[in-house]
Amino acid sequence: MKFREYQVEIINTAQTVLLAHRFVYLSMEVRTGKTLTALGVAEKLGINNLLFVTKKKAIGSIEADYKKLMPSYQITVINYESLHKVEGEFDFVVLDEAHTMGAYPKPSKRTKLIKEIIQSQNPYVVLMSGTPTPESFSQIYHQVYACLENPFNQYKTFYKFAKEYVNVTQRMFHSMPSNNYDDGKPEILDMMKPYMISYTQKEAGFKSQIKEHVLKVKMSDLTYRFVKEMSEHRLIEGKKTQEVILGDTNVKKMSKIHQLFSGTVKLENGTRMITDLSKARFIRTEFKNKKIAVFYKFKAEYEALKQVYGDGITDDLNEFDATSKNIALQIASGREGISLKKADCLVYYNIDFSALSYWQSRDRMTTKDSTVSDVYWIFAEKGIETRIYKTVINKKDYTLKHFEKDLLSL
């Protein structure tokens, strides 16, 4: 397999950084070939055993890239949730979507497990993400703290690091004051420059243009009645059953209205209910002659799609690639580490409150050679989704403050 010219340059630079510092951060935008580049770096260094940690849905594509490259080393590909099962010795570790380890002020469980592996074996480490700091520069600390030669190694805890690199403020949490560490200083990225290699789609020569289309669906009268009841009374009760939909806090109320506008809802007893198939039926009719990838927000939305599509839709990427079936993926898991280049277009059953989810998931079809990628948003007429969309396209998360303002005009 032949690498692109820019990948060869990155491989050579990464080798130099690794030999000097034992770790490197590949900040390469989606679809620029991070996986193959990382595998190429390992081959260049002549390693023996590689551990590749990623999202579960990305495992198949990584194994496929390994087979294409046919390197001389052995590989173990595993998802973050299965790290506790890892056995063996590794002289090279790749941490895909590394920003998911950026929780603070305390490290996540996965970050602690990674630290145990790295500090017991001292392998070369490659961190990868197209968005290293999606929400705050403070997210860098726990991504790199397992690496023995990271630039913040003198700060043994995040709290000590924060005294130097974070503008710590106070906020109220459950009526109690607490420290807010979101305002990480730009100097954090300055310190990372010797270890970080950045590369954009523009630099790679991507010509693809993403065209977004918003399509409105008239939902059933029941949906609009449910939303009205939730907005006014925070409660929907079944007339013939004991089923209850409760929005007793503003956060729950926001979530319930968000669910209802796509025709599903989660009851107080934990049961998922499909209340309206209008969106699923619209998607089947509108895209009947296309091979589509659907992103959904809530699990019941996938159940609605299965009711309408039957065996014509799957949640398995390998099956999607090998057959004529469409695919449906939850936004949170499908936005990272996978390629949907076999899809004619992306269709969003619903929209997430996260700006990161918006920007990452919509790029899943993009390739260097594609010219136009069509993305369709399926929103309820008079629904909340349009308000969420207008917020996240401006790279801001949709928050309770937005909802409370928008509720007045719903």
Q: Which two tokens stand for residue 54?
A: 């990623």
Mean pLDDT of 334-341: 70
Q: Are residues 360 and 234 in the same domain?
A: yes
> 395: alpha, beta or left, given left = phi > 0 and alpha = psi -120 to 50?
left
> 272: alpha, beta or left, given left = phi > 0 and alpha = psi -120 to 50?
beta
Residue 366 has pLDDT above 80, yes or no: no
Q: Are residues 88 and 33 in the same domain?
A: yes
Q: Are residues 226 and 196 in the same domain?
A: no
Residue 227 has pLDDT above 70, yes or no: yes
Q: Which two tokens stand for residue 383?
A: 């629904």
Burial 48-60 (b: 16+ CB within 10 A, else e): ebbbbbbbebbbe
Please give the DSSP secondary-structure letter assigned to residue 153.
T
Residue 367 has pLDDT above 90, yes or no: no
Query: Which residue, 204, 237, 258, sits at the end of a domain?
Result: 204
Q: Are residues 192 and 337 in the same domain?
A: no
Q: Are residues 191 and 213 in the same domain?
A: no
Q: What does the DSSP assignment read for 72-137?
A: SSEEEEEEGGGGGG--S--SEEEETTGGGG---SSPPHHHHHHHHHHHHH--EEEEE-S-S-SS-G
Residue 257's domain comprises 209-409
Residue 211 has pLDDT above 60, yes or no: yes
Environment class of residue 212 by beta-carbon count within 10 Å: exposed (0-12), middle (13-18) or buried (19+)?
Answer: middle
Q: Are residues 199 and 262 in the same domain?
A: no
pLDDT for the residue numbered 39: 98
Q: Are residues 173 and 242 in the same domain?
A: no
Q: Are residues 195 and 333 in the same domain?
A: no
Q: Which of 60-64, 209-213, 336-340 has the highest mean pLDDT?
A: 60-64
Confidence band (pLDDT; 50, 70, 90) for 208? low
Query: Which residue, 173, 204, 235, sits at the end of a domain?
Result: 204
**Distance (Å, whole) CA 373 – CA 293:** 12
Confidence band (pLDDT; 50, 70, 90) for 219? very high
Query: Which residue, 182, 204, 226, sits at the end of a domain?
Result: 204
pLDDT in tens, 251-296: 999 999 999 999 999 998 889 999 999 999 999 999 999 999 999 9
Total count of domains within the chain = 2
Q: Evaluate if pTM is beyond 0.85.
A: no
Task: State the CATH number of the domain containing residue 111.
Answer: 3.40.50.10810
Q: Are residues 24 and 168 in the same domain?
A: yes
**Distance (Å, whole) CA 107 – CA 12:** 32
Mean pLDDT of 314-338: 85
pLDDT for the residue numbered 237: 84
